[in-house]
Chain A
Amino acid sequence: MKSLELLSSKLAAPSNKFSFGFLAVSAVGFVDATYLTAKHFLGEPITCSILHGCEQVTASEYSIMFGLPVALLGALYYLSVLLLITIYLQTKQRAPLLLVSLLTLFGFLFSLRFVYLQIFVIKAICIFCMVSATTSTLLFIFSLTFLKKNKTNNTPEELSV
């Protein structure tokens, strides 16, 4: 934990407002992914009226990874981000931020893969999956701003708070 803290001391501390934005976006992602997970386990075909294809996408072989539904992994991902940001808001320690930026990087890469699969392989678009792709991309962009070293925020004094 100590080395993690040391490593993350290079991260810029986001403002409270920014953190709440982070919370809001991951909350949206969490609701979306939880809905898909519930649908997956309660087993009713997903119908969406805006864009067709929810059924094809969520029933495709790509909707399962490591034996788990992608939707569940997504829900856990958003939940982790949500909790880590909350911990950060409480403790102002930066280790959770480091974890968040790692998580969002993976989230973003997975989203890229899923968007690619939807467009080029399954050839159907699932609107709920696209919402999740949007939120995870936003989270990734948000977390990139941590990496911008903020000198004024990086004094030891700040860190000990």
Chain B
Amino acid sequence: MEQNEQNLSHKERQETKREEKINKQMEEKNKKKMQSAILWTVITVFVVGTIGAMIALASKKSGPQFAGGTVKPADASDWVKGATLAEAKVVLTEYSDFQCPACGAYYPMVKQLGKEFKNLAIVYRHFPLPQHDNARPAAQAAEAAGKQGKFWEMHDMLFENQKFWSVSPNPEEAFNIYAEKLGLDMEKFKTDFKSATAKTKITSDYQSGANEVDGTPSFFLNNQKIQNPKTYEEFRTIIQQAGGAL
């Protein structure tokens, strides 16, 4: 009897051992199944997610990111280059400071845009920053040259020589030299330089952008503020998307 009991318990023990083994195997199998399911889920989510995200990213208009409000439309009081306001499809308005280095860096880009696009009008508005001592006199020089029909010529001259006159304690000397180079009537230039008309024009330009311009240069595409493009190509694309024709 005793022996029988012992036998049974031995058998039982064996049984439980086997059961444990099977359970363990099952567990292992389940674990593997789980791992496999997780891996496939991750891969599927990744692939589908990537496709979705990339389609969204690619279809997002990379173009004009309007970043603020608007300024008053260009009119006859503005300096306009390229297409005339009447025939232009796209008007690019720049608020700029002749002394600001970033404006100097954008100058060749804007000039190139004007050459490349047929239906683009470029408008220049003064935004001389208070911390730039020579910016306002430079704007006056451009205005004075404008009185003799050479605003853009002076504008180019000022940007191209920015590093010379911007550090000068007496920039007027430099401006006079540029005016002479442009063949201006020097008497008239000197009078216009100090005239109230020039100063008023600069102040009214400044005020027209005061609410929207948070740094120079600031660009407005058809009067709407855009984020400054980082490259020429980006700039070009933005104008193309707005309807600019090469």
Q: Residues on A close to B: CB < 8 A?
A: 27, 30-31, 34-35, 37-39, 41-42, 44-45, 47, 49, 52, 55, 79, 82-83, 86, 89-90
Contact = CB atoms under 8 A, between A and B. Distances in A.
B62 A83 contact: no
Given A82-B43, A82-B47, A52 B58 contact: no
Contact of A35 (B40, B46, B58): B58
Main secondary structure of the interface of A (DSSP, over half): helix
Contacts of B54: 31, 34-35, 37-38
Contacts of A39: 58
A49 B39 CA distance: 36
Interface in B210-246: 230-231, 233-234, 237
Given A49-B234, A55-B233, A86-B40, A44 B47 contact: no
B161 interface: no
B231 to A, nearest CB: 5
Main secondary structure of the interface of B (DSSP, over half): helix
Interface residues of B, number: 20
B57 A47 contact: no
Contact of B51 (A34, A42, A47, A82): A34
B66 to A, nearest CB: 17
B59 interface: yes
B36 interface: yes
Contacts of B59: 38, 42, 44
A1 to B, nearest CB: 20
Contacts of A35: 54, 57-58
Contacts of A42: 55, 58-59
